[in-house]
Structure 1
Amino acid sequence: MLRRTYDGQVCSIARTLEVVGERWTLLIVRDAFYGVTRFDGFLNRLPIARNVLSDRLNGLVDHGVLERVLYQDRPPRHEYRLTAKGRRLAPVLMTLMEWGDHHLAGEAGPPSVAEHNDCGGRVSTRLVCACCGRDVDRAEVTVRQVQ
């Protein structure tokens, strides 16, 4: 049986996977970035069971990635909106999209492109040194343990 948690892992990637690593979760976050806010909207875009969607939305709310906002009193209905914490996942999604476009797009090419609203240019992610501001190649990066 596969373990479902990353207990004992002192690693930010493992901790992040505890929040967004379950099946469907990143696709729900993706759709929230695309403007989907309502339960039925997520259901219409994803081939996901209602109980699984409910569980994933509740988990994202519990972790502060989404917030639940009442939009109707009777019966009570809520929208799910990205929080500031959730919006910080944009570069993660963009990097996953770039990786998929590069390695998995197939002959037809990428299914979508990310474009800058102001000029229409293609948006990409990159590694940048926080000290000198230079673009950094992955081969120039060393990850060291600090604890």
Structure 2
Amino acid sequence: MLGKTYDSQECSIARTLEVVGERWSLLIIRDALFDGATRYSDFQHKLGIATNILKARLDGLVEAELMRRHRYSEQPELYEYLPTEKGRALAPALVALSEWGDQWATDGEPPVLYTHAVCGTGVAQRTVCDHCGRVDDPTEIQAVVAPGRLSQKV
């Protein structure tokens, strides 16, 4: 059973959950990446999140280097929160979560479609084998012990 942290888990999924595993964090990143939200008031308005929770999540995302804080006003002192390269790298994972939600957690048509900004064509996440190409059957995916693993159990 997992405790409050995943420190004992030798798994990149668990390590990722330490950083973005709380729902508000992913929704803040989503709004920053795909909806242009950058200011505290943008996130508060779009998400309806309590101000104390929003402050804590933004501070955590800055500390984890997923977002950077940029002052845009001296008087009053105001900041915007911009995704870093590390934060932008979450975009494919968010698209994949959205696709899963479209299939398993949404009735009817998808509420949001993701498109390539350059050409307007839809984008999708795929699992790809470096040798065989696209992998459609998830039962063909296995986890194996890698060099970064301390124990020999998967």
TM more than 0.5: yes
Q: Which runs of no fewer than 5 residues in structure 1 stay unpaired?
A: none
Taking only aligned residues, the RMSD between alpha carbons, in angstroms, comes to 1.5
* Residue deviations 1:39-63 (CA, integer Å, cap 9, x gap): 0000000121000000000000000
> 2:152 corresponds to which residue?
none
Q: Which amino acid aligns with 1:121?
A: T
Q: Following superposition of structure 1 onto structure 2, how do residues 90-101 of structure 1 map, counting pairs within 5 Å?
A: 90-101=91-102
Normalising by structure 1, we get a TM-score of: 0.91
Is residue 6 from structure 1 mapped to residue 10 from structure 2 by the alignment?
Answer: no
Alignment partners' CA distance in 1, 2:9 and 2:95: 26
Q: Following superposition of structure 1 onto structure 2, how do residues 49-60 of structure 1 map, counting pairs within 5 Å?
A: 49-60=50-61
Matched length: 144
CA deviation after TM superposition for structure 1 residue 129, in Å: 2.4
* Residue deviations 1:14-49 (CA, integer Å, cap 9, x gap): 110000011311000000012100000000001210
The secondary structure found in structure 1 opposite 2:129 is: coil
> 2:75 corresponds to which residue?
74
**In 2 relative to 1, CA 90–133 (structure 1 residues): closer, same or farther, beyond 3 Å?**
farther
CA deviation after TM superposition for structure 1 residue 118, in Å: 3.2
Q: Which amino acid aligns with 1:37?
A: T
Alignment partners' CA distance in 2, 1:57 and 1:84: 16
* Residue deviations 1:117-138 (CA, integer Å, cap 9, x gap): 23322110001223x3711232
Q: Which amino acid aligns with 2:129?
A: C
Is residue 35 from structure 1 mapped to residue 7 from structure 2 by the alignment?
Answer: no
Q: Which runs of no fewer than 5 residues in structure 2 stay unpaired?
A: 150-154
Normalising by structure 2, we get a TM-score of: 0.87
Q: Following superposition of structure 1 onto structure 2, how do residues 1-147 of structure 1 map, counting pairs within 5 Å?
A: 3-33=3-33, 34-107=35-108, 109-130=109-130, 132=131, 134-137=133-136, 138-146=138-146, 147=149
Q: Percent identity?
A: 48
Alignment partners' CA distance in 2, 1:119 and 1:79: 29
* Residue deviations 1:53-84 (CA, integer Å, cap 9, x gap): 00000000000000001111122111100000
CA deviation after TM superposition for structure 1 residue 101, in Å: 0.5
